[in-house]
Structures are given as structure tokens and as C-alpha cells.
Amino acid sequence: MANIGRPKKIQIDPEQPTWICYNCGMKYGSFKVGTATWHTDTCGVCGETKTCTEPRDFGYLLLGWKEKYGRYTKEINEDSSKSS
């Protein structure tokens, strides 16, 4: 399969959230946001209600964003319940 219009170096995750906030986009996106249409919504990465836009505006999220974010939240939630 050909990756039409995408540089090979950048690994885009096939799973993208619907909306993403500025902070998460800057952390996990493949480039800095340029023109974007912002609105208040639930960020698909951090889950907070923030000013969000489409992952596309950050060049889509890089492969492994979930793992990176998961590692980050684990540290925060280390003493809260780990109920499954």
C-alpha cells in the first residue's frame, strides 16, 4: 500500500481521536498547528473539556501517542484506585 502524500519518516498512528486540545496536539502531533478551527469539546487524549480542533491540524498524532499518554497518566494515578 502506498502512503500517498505522507512523508515516510513520520509515523502516523492509524487511531486518531475525534478532537484534540492544543496541549495534547503539541505533545503528540507531528507538527505545530497552523490554521485550525477551534471549538470547545472533549479532548480525545486527555479527556478534558477544552478548546479543541481536529488531529489533522497537528499533522495527525504520531504512532504510540496512547502509550506515551498512558505512561504519563499512570504516574499521576499511581495512588488512586486501579479498579478494572
φ, ψ at 28 (rounded to 5°): -115, -10
DSSP summary character for residue 43? -
- Decide: is 43 part of the binding site for Zn ion (CB under 5 A): yes
Q: Which stretch binds Zn ion (CB under 5 A): 10-18, 38-46, 53-61, 76-84?
A: 38-46
Nearer to Zn ion, 46 or 63 (CB): 46
Q: Which stretch binds Zn ion (CB under 5 A): 23-31, 32-40, 64-72, 75-83?
A: 23-31
φ, ψ at 82 (rounded to 5°): -105, 35
- Decide: is 52 part of the binding site for Zn ion (CB under 5 A): no
CB 10 within 8 A of CB 59: yes
DSSP H/E element including 16: none
From the CB of 20, what's the least distance to Zn ion, in Å? 6
